[in-house]
């Protein structure tokens, strides 16, 4: 097995995508945040606002910003002209918040890392917005749900 991000001397390099076909590509990632039992009722009662402001709206903006900065954060990612980014946040069950980040581009390389980054940054922002309420929150899972375009597609069992 060889890795596309290593050259013939096992040094890191950016993958050459010049010969790849331009296709529409989409990826969806999810972050799950565990909230301690006393936090969710407080957030619901206060319309998901803390002294720092609107938790979900701030996290959505942060997630979009994270998507746009992925190539600055992850060394071997290509800079991509993002065409669409949606960050959706919702309560799941009694003690979880799920962040879904969908990213689309028409290009020669996929947007999985952008979707994963967007979901991660949005989850970290929720943690930051709520940390005065409890430090027992836990970002417990960040995963790729699906990807389309390019040579192969992927759909997780959850996606």
Residues marked as catalytic:
128
3-state secondary structure of 39: helix
Q: Are 110 and 25 in contact (CB under 8 A)?
A: yes
For the record, the structure tokens of 121 come out as: 């940054």
- The H-or-E segment that residue 115 falls in is helix 112-130
**What span, in angstroms and rounded, lies between the C-alpha atoms of 39 and 3?**
43
Nearest CA among 72, 154, 61, 155 for reference residue 99: 61
Block residue for tokens 């619901």: 44
């Amino acid at each position: 097995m060889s890795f596309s991000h290593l050259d013939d001397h096992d040094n890191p390099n950016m993958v050459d995508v010049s010969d790849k076909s331009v296709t529409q590509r989409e990826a969806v990632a999810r972050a799950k945040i565990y909230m301690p039992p006393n936090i969710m009722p407080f957030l619901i009662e206060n319309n998901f606002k803390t002294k720092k402001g609107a938790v979900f709206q701030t996290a959505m903006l942060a997630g979009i910003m994270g998507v746009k900065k992925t190539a600055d954060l992850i060394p071997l990612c290509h800079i991509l002209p993002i065409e669409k980014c949606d960050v959706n946040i919702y309560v799941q069950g009694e003690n979880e918040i799920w962040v879904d980040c969908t990213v689309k581009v028409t290009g020669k390389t996929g947007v999985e890392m952008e979707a994963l980054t967007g979901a991660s940054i949005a989850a970290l922002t929720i943690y930051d917005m709520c940390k005065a309420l409890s430090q027992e929150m836990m970002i417990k899972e960040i995963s790729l749900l699906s990807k389309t375009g390019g040579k192969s597609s992927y759909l997780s069992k959850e996606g």
